[in-house]
Amino acid sequence: MLSVRARGDGPERRIALVIVHEGNYMRKFTAVALAAVFALGSLAAARAATPILETGSSLLYPLMNLWVASYQAKNHTVQITTQSTGSGTGISQAIAGVAQIGASDAYMGDPQMRGHRMLNIPLAISAQQINYNIPGLNNVHLHLSGPVLAGIYMGRIKYWNDPQIKALNRPYAGRLPHRTIIPIHRTDGSGDTFIFSQYLSFTTPMWSHGPGYGTSISWPSVSTAVGANGNPGMVQACKATPYSIAYIGVSFINETNKAGLGYALLKNRAGRFVAPTASTIGSAAAAMYPKTPRDERISLVFAPGANSYPIINYEYAIVNPHQKNAETREALVKFLSWVLDHNGGQEMHFLNAVHFLPLPASIAKLSREQVAQIH
């Protein structure tokens, strides 16, 4: 007779193999016994892996998946699960303790911080495109500004050949169609909505006194408006809707290019129209590094500088400094430390894949200081 038993409940679990020799059946059971031992050993190892849940930003999601795949290939004692749920959900689930990492394109505001002591840890630098689907003009980079975008999303600028749009695009004024503009916005709590609505708020007083900015806002009532969930939903909605306009994170540039969408040059604080490139994103970020406080909660939107792209942001890990047990704390600290290492998650092959920029040394140092507060 043969029996296999696992003794103990934790990582030190022992496998006991008990074999009672009954004549010639000994050899027949040997293979079964060994298979059972290996199966139970694998089960014990799997149970020893510390679970970490990351949920939130769809903009950060593609990069987070690259990080997690690389990290877990060499670190088998942690099991990291990623979910693209939107920044608002990421923040709320981190606060509730459901997720260990709430990924967010937005920092937590003072009202949220007063009720919850959370860490807002920058992991990388990102940006946002303004995409559109205008048949015959998607290969042209239209010039758009904060006030014009605010006018579109408020329903005050209704057609693509509106005089305000034509004034910014004189070379293409005759080609702009008298077609109704379809503004597309996020329906989920979104860091992309946060930084887009900040650009509108910082450039347009009427918008700042109206919808304002946040991960979720009360969108003006526009009869043609379309709602979409996540960055993938925004890409799909814009692709499927001629004469539409949308705000989409740069980690989806490959998808917007495949969809054949156009993208705008945006008016920056210096009055210049610039594209979201590594150079312009880097210029805007460099102007804001010295202004970053120790808790790193800061908007990088509408930064000064002639070459600065106006919609950029830190990508945040929202983390509770008090973790439920030592194993979770250790696994979380090790992963975030690797993400912030120039020989780890800050390596350019990760960031280039999603059109992000690495943190400069001074900001990475502040982020590591925040990670050190996790206990």
pLDDT value, residue 237: 98
Are residue 132 and residue 280 in the same domain, yes or no? yes
Are residue 192 and residue 67 in the same domain, yes or no? no
pLDDT value, residue 115: 84
Please state, in angstroms and rounded to a whole number, the distance separating the CA atoms of residues 97 and 331. 16
Ranges in the chain, pLDDT < 50: 1-46
pLDDT value, residue 42: 47
Specify the CATH number for the domain of residue 131: 3.40.190.10
Are residue 204 and residue 269 in the same domain, yes or no? yes
pLDDT value, residue 47: 55
Quote the pTM value.
0.87
Are residue 144 and residue 205 in the same domain, yes or no? yes
pLDDT value, residue 2: 39
Are residue 55 and residue 25 in the same domain, yes or no? no
Query: What is the domain range of residue 26?
Result: 2-48
**Residue 140, in any domain of the structure:** yes
pLDDT value, residue 17: 35
Residue whose entry in the numeric block shows the structure tokens 């539409």: 244
Distances from the Cα of 95 to the Cα of 114, 255, 289, angstroms: 12, 32, 27
Are residue 226 and residue 134 in the same domain, yes or no? yes
Please state, in angstroms and rounded to a whole number, the distance separating the CA atoms of residues 313 and 126. 5
Please state, in angstroms and rounded to a whole number, the distance separating the CA atoms of residues 316 and 319. 9
Number of separate domains in the chain: 3
Helix H or strand E encompassing 371: helix 361-371
**Residue 305, in any domain of the structure:** no
Using the CB atoms, write b or e for 40-71: b if 16+ within 10 Å: beeebeeeebbebbbbbbbbbbbbbebbbebb
Are residue 251 and residue 267 in the same domain, yes or no? yes
pLDDT tens per residue across span 252-287: 999 999 999 999 999 999 999 999 999 999 999 999
Q: Give the strand order in the sheet containing 273-274.
A: 143-144, 265-267, 273-274
